[in-house]
Amino acid sequence: MLEIPELRQEPCTKRWVIISPQRAKRPHSWGKEEGEKLQLPEWDASCPFCPGNEAQTPPEILSLKDEKGWRVRVIPNKYPALSPSEEPIQFEEKDPFVWLTGKGRHEVVIESPIHNNTWGNMGVRQMEDVIFSFLERYRALRDDKRVKYICIFRNHGERAGTSIIHPHSQIIATPIVPEQVRAEVEEARRYYDDRLRCAYCDVARKEREEGKRLIMESEHYFVFAPFASRMPFEVWVIPKRHNPSFDYISREEEKDLALVLENLFRAFYEGLSDPHYNVVFHSAPLRDSCEDYYHWHIEVLPRLTVQAGFELGTGIYINTVYPEEAAEYLRKYIKS
């Protein structure tokens, strides 16, 4: 068991982290203390996302239905971070300040009619519907020329920033490229220019080769705890095929992604007792070709610890669990 802290650098982003296990509980204790599988009903009369309460949400943008009713609904967020107004975006300037009217899209993907479903227990069929909906909306939002970036994310649990329990993800389309995304793409470009290879391809190949941080491998994806994990049990899902953008995935990759996410999140659910987490899809900016060097992927950030002043002030996360131990632990809950 390694006990001396390490400073590790993420090869793709060049972000440093401190891995300091002395400050940690041992991995096997996480499951017992953190998260608790909530005992929830299948239907909650007071939940705006439950069947029967559809009138409490804005009209739906997309819905997947069968004879039993809807399986997934996509709606505009009732309290959007960015306004969907069609008016042109205004850029304002009053030296040294610049700002824009906050136009964009903010949608909610209600992932199941069943109130107590979550990615950890919904099963593969439902997960396929969720991913299909993400793709449909990503492709539709891409057509709006004012949109420069699309972020698909999922907040699970209060510590991850959600207040609504009913299973849902969110999509925000922004009229700017976030500077963190610019930095990520820029680092990937530098790596490519130095070696004529994609950083993410290199890292994924290495993770498979070393194996100790690998959690699972499917036909189309690698799943591993990244070398410089920022948080205990951080997980990356990286497609094997080099491809900058989520919406360019094939039908087979789409199907396989459902299998992979179902397996991974069931492992989280069982192994860590339904921990709070964020999921973020990292995909290339929309109107900025970076085919050679960017590689879309999914980052899963469990919120078992709190980011404090040091993290906020320096960007260096202090992680108390070695990713090698996290991977070893999670592998036990993966179905092969």
Query: Which residues does the annotation mark as catalytic?
Result: 168
Binding region for a second copy (CB under 8 A) out of 10-18, 46-54, 251-259, 327-335: 10-18
**Site membership for a second copy, residue 151 (CB under 8 A):** yes
Could you say which residues in the range 79-108 bind a second copy, by CB under 8 A?
A: 79-83, 85, 96-102
Cα distance between residue 8 and residue 321, in whole Å: 13
> What are the backbone dihedrals phi and psi of residue 202, each rounded to the nearest 5 degrees, phi first?
-60, -45
**Site membership for a second copy, residue 109 (CB under 8 A):** no
**Site membership for a second copy, residue 117 (CB under 8 A):** no
CB of 206 to a second copy, least distance (A): 6
Beta-ladder partners of 318: 18
| Complex with a second copy: residue 122 or 204, whichever CB lies closer | 204
Q: Which of 247, 239, 190, 195 is nearest to 217 (CA)?
A: 239
Tell me which residue has tokens 């042109």.
Answer: 88
**Site membership for a second copy, residue 56 (CB under 8 A):** no
Binding region for a second copy (CB under 8 A) out of 49-57, 74-82, 215-223, 238-246: 74-82
Cα distance between residue 12 and residue 192, in whole Å: 10
Q: Which of 35, 268, 278, 321 forms a contact with a second copy (CB under 8 A)?
A: 278
Contact present, 124 and 261 (Cβ < 8 Å): no
CA 73 to the chain's CA centroid: 19
**Site membership for a second copy, residue 291 (CB under 8 A):** no
**Site membership for a second copy, residue 33 (CB under 8 A):** no
| Complex with a second copy: residue 67 or 316, whichever CB lies closer | 316
**Site membership for a second copy, residue 139 (CB under 8 A):** no
**Site membership for a second copy, residue 288 (CB under 8 A):** no
Binding region for a second copy (CB under 8 A) out of 40-48, 107-115, 169-177, 247-255: 169-177
| Complex with a second copy: residue 93 or 143, whichever CB lies closer | 93
Could you say which residues in the range 197-236 bind a second copy, by CB under 8 A?
A: 199, 202-203, 206, 227
Do you know the residue count of the chain?
336
183-212 burial, b if ≥16 CB within 10 A, otherwise e? ebbbbbeebbeeeeebbbbbbbeebeeeee
Q: Which of 154, 166, 168, 220 forms a contact with a second copy (CB under 8 A)?
A: 154
Q: Which of 26, 183, 190, 219 forms a contact with a second copy (CB under 8 A)?
A: 183
Could you say which residues in the range 293-332 bind a second copy, by CB under 8 A?
A: 299, 301, 305-316, 318
Q: Which of 58, 69, 123, 161 forms a contact with a second copy (CB under 8 A)?
A: 161
Q: Can you give 162-227 as a three-state secondary structure string?
A: CCCCCCEEEEEEECCCCHHHHHHHHHHHHHHHHHCCCHHHHHHHHHHHHCCCEEEECCCEEEECCC
**Site membership for a second copy, residue 1 (CB under 8 A):** no
**Site membership for a second copy, residue 245 (CB under 8 A):** no
Cα distance between residue 169 and residue 177, in whole Å: 21
| Complex with a second copy: residue 43 or 74, whichever CB lies closer | 74
Contact present, 297 and 280 (Cβ < 8 Å): no
Q: Which of 19, 110, 188, 216 forms a contact with a second copy (CB under 8 A)?
A: 19
**Site membership for a second copy, residue 29 (CB under 8 A):** no
**Site membership for a second copy, residue 118 (CB under 8 A):** no
Total residues interacting with a second copy, rule: CB under 8 A:
73
Q: Cβ–Cβ contacts within 10 Å for residue 328, how many?
A: 15
For the residues of 39-59, what is the DSSP string, one character each?
---S--TT-TTSTT-GGGSPP
